[in-house]
Each structure stands twice: as C-alpha cells, then as structure tokens.
Structure 1
Amino acid sequence: MDGGSGLNILYVDMLDAMGIERSRLRPSGVHFDGVVPGKQVVPLGQIDLPVTFGDPSNYWKETLTFEVVGFKGAYHAILGRPCYAKFMAIPNYTYLKLKMPGPKGVITIGSTFQRAYECEVESCDLASKVIAIEELAHIRVEVVEQAPDSNRKVGSFEPAEGVKEISLDS
C-alpha cells in the first residue's frame, strides 16, 4: 500500500513468476522518482491485469494498469492511488489494513507488523546496494582519471629538482 504513489507498480520478477510474457507490455510514457533513491525510473512498459480482493463469498474484481519496472524490489507490486480510487478502498497504515466495499459487506485486507518490518528492512537493503553500486562506479571513474601515466617506465626513479648528492660510503 502506498497512498503517496500516483501509479500501480509491478516488479518484473513478479511478471515472470506469473508466467506473463514481456511481449504483452505496451510502451509507457511515464518516468517517475522515489522508488530507487536518487534515480529516475523508466518502466519497461505497462500492462493491464485483473486484481481481486476478498474471498469467494465476498469479493471485488477490477482491471488495473501497472507500470512494470525492471529491477528488484522488496514487494511483488505497489498499489497506489489509482487502485484505491477504482476499488473505493481506504488504507489504514497504522493497522496495516485496506478496507473497501464488497457486494456482501466490507472487504478487509491486512498484513502483520512482522511482515511489514521484514519488507522495510529488505527495501532499505536494496536501496543501500543501489547506492553502493553507484558510488563504486563513481570511484572507478575517479581511479581511471587519476591513474599514473602509462608511458612511464615501471620501477624508474626520477629525482626532483634541487637534489643534493650525498656519498653513503666514506
């Protein structure tokens, strides 16, 4: 649940796990920030998928448009405001509940605090790895720029100006 997101996001690993071919993706003109720290995300494409909440006795099914991103995430998907609007759902982040009307009463979807914590830790770990990879790439560029002159002979010694010779054996 991400009430701050204006998009529904699906990670490509989940698309693959569902057995959906990437050829079903259609082009997406969307670019967005905030999923990967400090980076703008360009989705692989978008896809419409049926989403069902509830159980066989009380359920609601709608088709949602997902932006498919080509990197790992701590979640399978992120449901944003477009999902909430279509299902008329209300998220309660304190209690980790999502409630919406159903044909036979309120449909309540929930999670545990333990699972939410695990996802948060995994999400932070992934973000740290992304930042570390970017820093490593930057360091590699700096090292190449600061590399010594390759024309210089290895092991050669060139004295600085104003060197005074001293006899070591007297």
Structure 2
Amino acid sequence: MDGGSGLNLLYAETLDAMGINRSRLRPSKAPFHGVVPGKQATPLGQIDLPVTFGTPSNYRKEVLTFEVVGFRGTYHAILGRPCYAKFMAIPNYTYLKLKLPGPNGVITVGTTFQKAYECDVECCEYAAATTVSGDMVAQLEETIEDRSDAKQSGTLFEPTEARYS
C-alpha cells in the first residue's frame, strides 16, 4: 500500500513468477520519478491484470493497470492511488488495514505488525545494499554531472523583467 504513489507498480520478476509472458505488455506513456533515488525510471510497459480482495462470500474484483518495471524491488507490487480509487478503498497506516466496500459488507485486508516490521527491515537492507553498490554511485554521479552541465549551458530558467503594454 502506498497512498503517495500515483502508479500501480509491478516488478518484472513478479510478472515472470506469475507465468505471464512479457509480450502482453503495452508500450508505456512516460517515465516516472521517486522510485529509484535521484533518477527517473522507465517502465518496460503496462499491463492490465485482475486484482481481487476479500473472501469467497464477500469479495471485490477489479482490473488494474500496472506499470511493469525491470529493476528489483523488495515487494511483488505496489498498489497506489489508482487502486484505491478503483476499489474505493481507505488505507489506515496506523492499524495496517485497508478497507473497501464489498457486496456483503466491508472487506478488511490487513497484516501483522511483525510482518510489516520484517518487510521494512528487508526494504532498508535492500536500499542500503543498493546505495553502496557501484551502480547506484555511478547513477548518482551521472545525475550530478547532468545538473552541473545544465547550469553551465545556461538552459536553466532565469527570470527577466516583465513587460507590460
């Protein structure tokens, strides 16, 4: 659950584990920021997949569009605001619950604090390992060089005097 994400993300590794052929991917519209520190990420493509929450007696099923990314993550997928909107779901981060309307009452999806802690530890370890790796250092250096080149070339916005007629 990531209420701050404007995308539903699915990792290519997860797609492969599901046995879904990558030939089903549609071209994606644009790159996005905020997942890989200091760098834009370009998805491999988009795919529509059915997602179901609930029990056999009270469930909701909707088709969500996922941006499929080729880098590794600590989760299988990230459900963002498009998922919440489609399911009319309300996340409660304090209680680790997601509630959404179902045909026979409210559907509650939750986890334990222990599982959430384990996921956070794994995510932090992965982020630390990635940050220390040469690839991430090279990516950050490249980003810094790109910014300094932009400043030197004068392509940055510079305000001018306003002219009124």
TM-score normalised per structure 1: 0.77
Contact 1:91 1:97 in 2 (8 A): yes
Show structure 1 runs of 5+ residues with no match: 142-170
The alpha carbon displacement at 1:135 in A equals: 6.5
CA contact (8 A) 1:8 1:78 kept: yes
2:24 corresponds to: 24
Query: Could you say which residue in structure 1 is the equivalent of 2:68?
Result: 68
The residue identity in structure 2 corresponding to 1:131 is T
Give the ranges of 4+ consecutive aligned residues of structure 1 lying more than 6 Å apart after TM superposition: none
Residue deviations 1:18-65, cap 9 Å, x none? 000111111102211222222211111110000000011000000000
Task: Give the equivalent residue in structure 2 for 1:100.
Answer: 100
- SS of the aligned residue for 1:131 comes to helix
Q: Which stretch of structure 1 is more off in the superposition, 38-47 or 94-103?
A: 38-47
The letter for the 2-side match of 1:7 is L
The amino acid across from 1:128 in the alignment is A
Deviation track 1:72-110 (CA, whole Å, cap 9, x = no partner) reads 111110000000000000000000000000000000000
- Written as runs of structure 1 = structure 2, the 5 A alignment for 1:1-170 is 1-134=1-134, 138=138
Greater per-residue helix proportion: 2
How many residues of Structure 1 are paired with residues of Structure 2 in the alignment? 139
Contact 2:131 2:137 in 1 (8 A): no
SS of equivalent residue, structure 1 residue 106: strand
Q: In the aligned structure 1, how far is the partner of 2:4 from the partner of 2:101?
A: 21
CA distance in 1 between partners of 2:38 and 2:13 (Å): 22
CA-atom RMSD, angstroms? Answer: 1.6
* Equivalent residue, structure 2, for 1:165: none
- Choose 1 or 2 for highest CA Rg: 1
TM-score (norm 2): 0.79
The 3-state SS of whatever aligns with 1:59 is: strand
- Describe the shift of the 1:105–1:120 C-alpha distance in structure 2 as closer, same or farther (beyond 3 A): same
Question: Which deviates further from its counterpart, 123-132 or 84-93?
Answer: 123-132
SS in 2 for 1:72: coil
Contact 2:130–2:136 under 8 Å retained in 1:
no
- Taking only the aligned residue pairs, the percentage that are identical comes to 73
Using the alignment, how far apart are the partners of 1:8 and 1:31 within structure 2?
Answer: 13
Stretch of structure 1 that moved more, 1-10 or 30-39: 30-39
Amino acid across the alignment from 2:53: F
